[in-house]
């Protein structure tokens, strides 16, 4: 059985828990080690039983607690070489035996889980999303995406569960308080995915057979959960698909531990 839970997902910090059997992973650790530990305990997990932390990219909302967790629980930290170089100073000392490096696009295993990383368009050194494969199921995490490409769509296909970024509402971003350079970055090709774009991707993936979706990495200033959810519902309705009947759709939040999903 695959167990999946978004501990936190948003522009203020990200961390996802995924387990299969005795293999227990954190994907990103972008909050304090204390908050991540408390979140794990709240879903009945013992932080001392974690197998590894995987890092998607070096931005602080994805790595803040990784170094401390590694030191406290003797945890391996997995990232590609360019991400290691970019985040090394921010993590603090990590035991050499816990500094694990993978090549983007090359499958590797941690315990019971096969893992594929794939490149994503974001303004980091070598950012990745992840496919997790176990028990004939596929779970995909894809956030911090500036735009969608055919190669990226191919990586998302055949997922049994897809956590996809739905970062901002384009109009809220346009009229909001951010300075122009930051608005341009967020809306740019290497920024973040809008609600409307997420809706189009999810409608396409639903037509391809994926049935369960989570919307994540919502902006605090330029989005709110009900708007993200409704925008995607509208995109699905245009393709004659209904949430609750044809697919399952939920929003994971910045500051609250999500539902535990079992596959």
How confident is the model over 132-156, as pLDDT tens digits? Answer: 999 999 999 999 999 999 999 999 9
Burial of 62 (0-12, 13-18, 19+ CB in 10 A): buried
Is residue 42 within 8 Å of 257, Cβ to Cβ? yes
Q: For residue range 28-42, list pLDDT tens digits in order.
A: 999 999 999 999 999
Q: Where are the domains of the chain?
A: 2-262
Taking residues 49-74, report their average pLDDT: 98
Task: Indicate whether 11 pLDDT > 90.
Answer: no
The predicted model scores a pTM of 0.96
- The pLDDT-based confidence of 123 (bands split at 50, 70, 90) is very high
- Residue 66 pLDDT more than 90? yes
| pLDDT surpassing 90 at residue 160 | yes
For residue 157, the model assigns a pLDDT of 97
Decide if pLDDT at 91 tops 90. Answer: yes
> Mean pLDDT over all residues of the chain?
97
Q: What is the CATH number of domain 2-262?
A: 3.60.15.10
Q: How many CA atoms lie within 13 Å of 98's alpha carbon, on the beta-carbon side?
A: 23
And the tokens for 4? 């999946």
pLDDT digits (tens, 9 = 90+) for 194-220: 999 999 999 999 999 999 999 999 999
Cβ contacts of residue 138 below 8 Å, gap of 6+?
A: 131, 132, 158, 159, 160, 161
């Amino acid at each position: 059985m695959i167990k999946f839970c978004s501990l936190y997902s948003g522009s203020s910090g990200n961390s996802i828990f995924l387990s299969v059997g005795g293999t227990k992973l954190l994907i990103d650790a972008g909050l304090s080690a204390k908050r991540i530990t408390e979140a794990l305990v709240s879903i009945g997990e013992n932080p001392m039983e974690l197998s590894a932390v995987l890092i998607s990219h070096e931005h602080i909302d994805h790595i803040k607690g990784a170094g401390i967790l590694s030191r406290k629980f003797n945890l391996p930290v997995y990232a590609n070489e360019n991400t290691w170089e970019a985040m090394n100073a921010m993590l603090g000392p990590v035991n050499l035996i816990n500094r694990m490096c993978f090549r983007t696009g090359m499958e590797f295993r941690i315990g019971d889980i096969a893992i594929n990383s794939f490149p994503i368009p974001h303004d980091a050194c070598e950012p990745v999303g992840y496919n997790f494969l176990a028990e004939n199921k596929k779970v995909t995490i894809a956030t911090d995406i500036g735009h969608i490409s055919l190669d990226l769509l191919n990586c998302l296909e055949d997922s049994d569960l897809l956590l996809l970024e739905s970062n901002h509402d384009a109009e809220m971003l346009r009229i909001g308080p951010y300075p122009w350079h930051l608005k341009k970055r967020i809306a740019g090709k290497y920024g973040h995915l809008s609600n409307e774009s997420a809706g189009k991707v999810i409608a396409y993936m639903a037509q391809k057979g994926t049935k369960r979706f989570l919307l994540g990495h919502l902006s605090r200033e330029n989005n709110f959960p009900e708007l993200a959810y409704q925008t995607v519902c509208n995109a699905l309705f245009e393709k004659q698909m209904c949430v609750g009947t044809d697919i399952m759709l939920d929003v994971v939040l910045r500051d609250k531990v999500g539902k535990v999903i079992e596959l």
